């Protein structure tokens, strides 16, 4: 979603027009195309990464296999792009993440578990609220 919004800002895409003209009030949410994992595999490749340029930063909070990790490492090490923020990887198994990524200062990692953290916090809050109302 982050990348999609960035692209929308840069291209002034259809979803912006959809909202500004009030269509979402009548027709509901903007219809986003859903692609299979096969269709999006290595969608962010050498061409896309090189287009970002020296000030470009790639953030992946979607599917790990969207980004060709070998190309990502090459672009980061060669300083063809500025950095990367990753919470997913091409292979779900952490032992398969390229070691070079861990050595780079221009890469930030985050666990793809924030959703579970938020769900847990919400569940705990609801338990506390229920308890406080039951005690009355």
Task: State phi, psi for 65 to the nearest 5 degrees.
Answer: -75, 0
| Residue 4 to residues 12, 54, 85, 124, 125, Cα–Cα distance (Å) | 11, 21, 15, 32, 32
pLDDT tens, residue by residue, 94-123: 667 888 988 898 998 876 655 555 566 677
Closest CA to 83 of 107, 99, 62, 103: 107
pLDDT tens, residue by residue, 6-48: 655 655 555 556 666 677 667 766 555 666 778 889 989 999 9
- pLDDT classification of 5: cutoffs 50, 70, 90: low
Q: Which CATH class is domain 3-111?
A: alpha beta
């Amino acid at each position: 979603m982050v990348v999609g919004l960035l692209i929308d800002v840069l291209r002034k895409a259809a979803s912006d027009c959809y909202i500004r003209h009030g269509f979402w009030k009548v027709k509901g949410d903007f219809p986003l195309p859903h692609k299979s994992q096969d269709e999006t595999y290595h969608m962010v490749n050498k061409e896309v990464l090189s287009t970002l340029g020296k000030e470009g930063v790639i953030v992946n909070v979607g599917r790990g296999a969207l980004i060709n990790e070998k190309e990502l490492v090459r672009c980061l090490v060669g300083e063809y792009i500025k950095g990367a923020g990753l919470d997913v990887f091409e292979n779900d198994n952490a032992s398969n993440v390229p070691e070079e990524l861990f050595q780079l200062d221009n890469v930030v990692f985050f666990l793809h578990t924030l959703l579970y953290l938020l769900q847990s916090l919400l569940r705990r809050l609801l338990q506390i609220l229920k308890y406080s109302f039951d005690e009355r």
